[in-house]
Amino acid sequence: MSKSRHVSETPATQYLRRHGVTFGEHPYVYVEHGGTKESARQLGVDEHHVIKTLVMEDEHARPLIVLMHGDRTVSTKNLARQTGAKRIAPCKPEVANRHSGYLVGGTSPFGTRKPMPVYVEASVLALETIWLNGGRRGFLLSLAPVVLTTLLNATPVQCASLE
């Protein structure tokens, strides 16, 4: 195995390789609180195509993952309505880390520590290519969004609001 490939191995890349998924690897310089705006700028891609992986929980503290455009926020009220939950809220960072096995800022929907239901903003699926976290801060993967529904069984929802 080449050294560069080993450096980028994360539970997410291992999961994708195991499932035969083709993806691109895009390291960038992680900037604290830089978010998708910073990664999009460094990689020269539209922030709308950079997808945030957000760990949230319902009123019973059951975790779930929401995949959202980098330039949009999640309407938790709309998400709760569409998932049948009374309430959905973001997890505290330490709780999100525990559920996913990743550090916040490096959370990938692939290869999470615990299986969690995945919801994806429906318009994400219309994009040709998406960039999302590869399981480490400063590391995005590019891939076809169909992988989200075929591999993660992600449920399309409409819960985006402008940031």
46-73 per-residue burial string, b: 16 or more CB within 10 A, e: under 16:
ebbbbbbbbbbbbeeeebbbbbbbbbbe
CA 106 to chain centre: 9
pLDDT at 123: 98
With pLDDT > 90 as the criterion, what percentage of the chain qualifies?
A: 93
What does the pLDDT average to over 36-48? 97
Report the CATH number at residue 147: 3.90.960.10
What does the pLDDT average to over 153-157? 97
Whether pLDDT at 2 is above 60: no
Q: How many domains does the chain have?
A: 1
- Evaluate whether residue 40 is within a structural domain: no
pLDDT at 1: 33
Work out the pLDDT band at 161, boundaries 50, 70, 90: confident
Measured over the CA atoms of residue 88, residue 94, residue 33 and residue 31, the dihedral's sign is: negative
CA 101 to chain centre: 13
Range of the domain at 143: 3-18+46-162
Token couple for 40: 């999009």
Work out the pLDDT band at 8, boundaries 50, 70, 90: low
- Evaluate whether residue 28 is within a structural domain: no
- Evaluate whether residue 24 is within a structural domain: no
pLDDT at 163: 57
- Evaluate whether residue 26 is within a structural domain: no
What does the pLDDT average to over 84-107? 95
What does the pLDDT average to over 116-143? 97
User: Which pTM does this prediction carry?
Assistant: 0.93
Q: What pLDDT, in 10s, does the model give residues 54-73?
A: 999 999 999 999 999 999 99
Whether pLDDT at 162 is above 50: yes
What does the pLDDT average to over 26-44? 95
- Evaluate whether residue 50 is within a structural domain: yes
Whether pLDDT at 3 is above 50: no
Measured over the CA atoms of residue 12, residue 16, residue 17 and residue 19, the dihedral's sign is: positive
